[in-house]
Chains A and B, each alone.
Chain A
Amino acid sequence: MPAETNNLVKDIRKTPEATTVVLSGDIDLHHSPQLHSALVEVTNERPKKLLLDLRDVPYMDSSGVGTFVEVFRRVNAYKGKMVIFGLNPRVRSIFEITKLDRFFTLAETEEQALKT
């Protein structure tokens, strides 16, 4: 799905090292299917490292976490790496509540995410 047709996907930046998907807005039951389609399309290109920028995501529910789990599995399947960065405390807490912070690689900044 091209970025311009998905309100949640604000930008997709590709370099030889990584593909960064910049997200903007609430990730909930309404938006997660669009997000899933967009990220599946990105992973079809098998980027070595997939960075998800959540700096502009104020809210996320379990449907968003579920979407990230599915994308995480796809990236793992082709031996890639997925890093989520820029989570505000509320969004980070849902990873902690669901104990998925043990499985995802979470970083504070894009620079840290690239070095991970």
Chain B
Amino acid sequence: MSSDINRVELTIHSDPRNLPIVRAAVEKLAALEGFEPHDVYHITLAIDEALANVIKHGYGGKCDQPIVITLQPVRSPDGRPGISVCVRDQGRQVDPALIKGRDLEEVRPGGLGVHIIQSVMDAYNYSCPVDGGMLLEMVKYASAKNCPSPSVKV
């Protein structure tokens, strides 16, 4: 893990055993940034789901492929603290237009990860970088009722 004042970067192998390590780091960082426990859980869940999708679909279950997670504090237009998350892999590329949550009227396993990301994050975007793999960018802002004064420097 590398860190400077504003940015934390985690590089892991695509091994599901690494997920609790990432969750612990994200939970700690989000809490340090002042997010309430409910928001901390949502940020952690979204990143966990994103990584699970990379492992399962991007890398087809291979456990030795690289995934880079970057977290950076940001501000909403109305001054609320937030966190920007990038998940970068070198796996199979998929047309971003095809990545969407499924119909929840169907009671079946699978396909829930994107729906969860959509539901708990304020913004998300998939893209296909020219040098291969996929990039998922997500943003979560602190809930308005719990955010500190906008004058607080992050």
B13 at the A interface (CB under 8 A): no
- Asked if residues B109 and A97 are in contact (CB atoms below 8 Å), the reply is no
Closest Cβ of chain A to B105, distance in Å, is: 8
A89 to B93, alpha carbons, bound, how many Å? Answer: 36
In the assembly, what is the distance between CA of A63 and CA of B53, in Å? Answer: 10
Q: Which of B15-23, B131-139, B143-151 contacts A (4 or more CB under 8 A)?
A: B15-23
In terms of DSSP, what is the predominant structure of the interface of chain B? helix
Task: Give complex CA distance A77, B39 in Å.
Answer: 38
A61/B48 in contact, CB under 8 A: yes
Structural contact, A98 and B116, CB atoms closer than 8 A:
yes
Question: Known: A93-B41, A97-B119. Contact between A62 and B19, CB under 8 A?
Answer: no
B1-42 contact mask (Cβ, 8 Å, vs A): 1 or 0 = 000000000000000110110010000000000000000010
**A4-12, A23-31, A45-53: which lies at the B interface?**
A23-31
A51 to B63, CA, bound (A): 33
B45 at the interface (CB under 8 A from A): yes
Nearest opposing residue in chain A for B23, CB measure: A59
Q: How many residues of A contact B (CB 8 A)?
A: 23
- Other than the known A70-B109, A73-B107, what 9 A-B pairs have Cβ atoms closer than 8 Å? A30-B19, A62-B112, A62-B116, A66-B110, A66-B112, A72-B107, A94-B45, A98-B115, A99-B104
Q: Which residues of B contact A (CB under 8 A)?
A: 16-17, 19-20, 23, 41, 45, 48-49, 52, 55-56, 104, 107-110, 112-113, 115-116, 119-120
* Chain A positions near chain B (C-beta within 8 angstroms): 26, 28-30, 59, 61-63, 65-67, 69-70, 72-73, 90, 93-94, 97-100, 103
